[in-house]
Structure 1
Amino acid sequence: MTEYKTEAQKKKFYRSGDWESLRQQALERDNHECQQCKREGRVHVDSIKVEGERKSVELNVHHKYEIEDYPQLALVLDNLETLCLNCHNKMHNRVFGEQKKKRWDDEMW
């Protein structure tokens, strides 16, 4: 079984034709909409390609069970869901621009 522990192994996987094909299936199944936003009653759809411009990345296809821990699920459609960048970052605890909560609410003096 293939492992996806190193950056090089992950890059190779995410550049593979098998992944790209399955990724497109997941996007189509999810109607090119963020599934987490949908669960929260919001709508976040993919950007539209404008001729002559680079398409902005709005959506990622997320592995519910990460490939480094569950390599056998790397190419299983039911393990994938479409997420917007913001929701995908939250799933991975990559939150930018927010201040960490203070440990105590006491005043500093």
Structure 2
Amino acid sequence: MIDTLTHASRAIFYNSQAWRELRADALERDHYECLWCKAAGKVTSNQSTVLEVDHIKELEFYPECALDINNLRTLCKDCHNKRHHRFNYASHGPKKENKWKDDERWD
């Protein structure tokens, strides 16, 4: 089993030849398209953005699935960030109610 407990050990894994080859296979299998965008009816390919290969069962918690191609999916950088709640996609508490929602609009 692959050691994925630390950030350093995961970095070693992601730089391995085995991962690079499997990543290439997953991208080819998914036709170099983001699967989440595709499911939403949008085409996002390697021609328009950076594509990343995501572990469905996260590497940190399921090291036994690290090299299982059925545990991989191609996502664009934006969808991958949403999936992991990174950057502006993180939840910052309850959503504020729009206090102007019932006001007259000047469209």
TM-score by length of 2: 0.81
Matches within 5 A, 1:1-109: 1-47=1-47, 58-96=50-88, 100=92, 103-105=95-97
Q: How many residues are matched?
A: 99
Find the residue that maps to 1:81 and give its secondary structure.
Answer: strand
Across the aligned residues of Structure 1 and Structure 2, the Cα RMSD in angstroms comes to: 2.4
Query: Which has more radius of gyration?
Result: 2
Instruction: Tell me how far 1:5 sits from its aligned partner.
Output: 1.4
Find the residue that maps to 1:24 and give its secondary structure.
Answer: helix
d(CA) in 1 for partners of 2:46 and 2:26? 13
Structure 2: state its 5+ residue gaps: 100-107
4+ residue runs over 4 A deviation = 97-104
Same amino acid, percent of matched pairs: 40
Find the residue that maps to 1:96 and give its secondary structure.
Answer: helix
